[in-house]
């Protein structure tokens, strides 16, 4: 598996609910973008508005803070300004510091002071228009649509490029060591040591590193939507019509 595929798997495991990683993490994605998955990563072809599909947007106006690491295999050690921590030998005593250990390639930490969850607000109407496009042969069932984004005015993402990666960093401008300080523009983060390569994104402005995808997929006998990721063969009940549904593009737990 490639680095981006491993990172994407970690994001899906951590966020769930149809959320996917943007690649690269600072690649902007707009609501209404459509495309296909390549190596577990969404690749945009255009916007559904260009296909004549209207949609409305619910813009989140109440921010939340976000500080998250991959759900498995990331350990964080911190020390305050003036403290001594034998597990952080490369950090000066007079500085606040932090150590991060990623057990596996693709492990990540993501921090943002403010996060806004914007989404398409009329999925029923969207589904109706997509069905019409598909009936005319203008829509492929392998297409995904960006229906939600985690919009971050300032964000930082660190991604391990190999297994068992360790790094140590100090902070100037704060006495409180925290992953969230990585996206504080009043704080300087200094990377003192790392055992192997780490991809560093940020502080990135107007970032959408996490997106939510839906796809139009086939139901069976008017059953409720199910979470699916891969294309399914066309199924038609005897004497019945095909029942296409707009569903979250998601998987079950990844082991």
pLDDT value of position 219: 61
Find out whether 176 and 242 touch, Cβ atoms under 8 Å: no
Q: What is the distance between the alpha carbons of residues 237 and 12, in angstroms, rounded to a whole number?
A: 33
Tens of pLDDT, residue by residue over 169-201, are: 998 888 878 888 888 777 788 888 888 889 998
Whether 231 has a pLDDT exceeding 50, the answer reads no
* 88-97, 176-185, 214-223: which is most confident: 88-97
> Looking at the predicted structure, is the pLDDT value of residue 56 above 80?
yes
Residues 6+ apart with CB under 8 A from 8: 20, 21, 23, 39, 40, 41, 106
pTM: 0.82
Cα separations in angstroms, 43 against 12, 38, 185: 16, 7, 31
More confident residue, 103 or 218: 103
Q: How far apart are CA 220 and CA 252, in angstroms?
A: 20
- Please give the pLDDT value at position 212: 94
User: What is the pLDDT averaged over residues 32-44?
Assistant: 93
CA–CA distance, 49 with 37 (Å, rounded to integer): 20
């Amino acid at each position: 598996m490639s680095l981006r595929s491993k990172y994407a798997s970690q994001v899906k495991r951590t966020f769930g609910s149809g959320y996917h990683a943007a690649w690269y993490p600072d690649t902007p994605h707009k609501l209404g973008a459509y495309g296909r998955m390549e190596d577990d990563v969404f690749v945009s072809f255009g916007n559904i508005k260009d296909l004549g599909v209207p949609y409305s947007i619910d813009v989140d106006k109440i921010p939340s803070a976000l500080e998250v690491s991959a759900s498995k295999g990331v350990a964080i050690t911190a020390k305050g300004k003036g403290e001594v921590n034998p597990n952080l030998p490369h950090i000066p005593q007079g500085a606040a510091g932090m150590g991060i250990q990623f057990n596996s390639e693709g492990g990540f930490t993501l921090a943002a002071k403010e996060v806004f969850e914007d989404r398409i607000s009329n999925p029923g109407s969207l589904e109706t228009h997509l069905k019409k496009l598909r009936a005319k042969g203008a829509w492929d069932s392998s297409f995904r649509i960006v229906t939600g984004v985690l919009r971050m005015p300032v964000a930082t993402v660190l991604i391990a490029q190999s297994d068992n990666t360790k790094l140590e960093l100090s902070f100037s401008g704060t006495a409180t060591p925290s992953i969230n300080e990585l996206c504080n523009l009043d704080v300087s983060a200094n990377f003192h040591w790392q055992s192997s390569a780490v991809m560093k994104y940020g502080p990135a402005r107007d970032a959408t590193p996490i997106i939510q995808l839906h796809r139009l997929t086939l139901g069976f006998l008017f059953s409720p939507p199910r979470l699916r990721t891969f294309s399914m063969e066309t199924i038609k009940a005897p004497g019945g019509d095909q029942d296409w549904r707009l569903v979250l593009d998601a998987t079950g737990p990844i082991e």
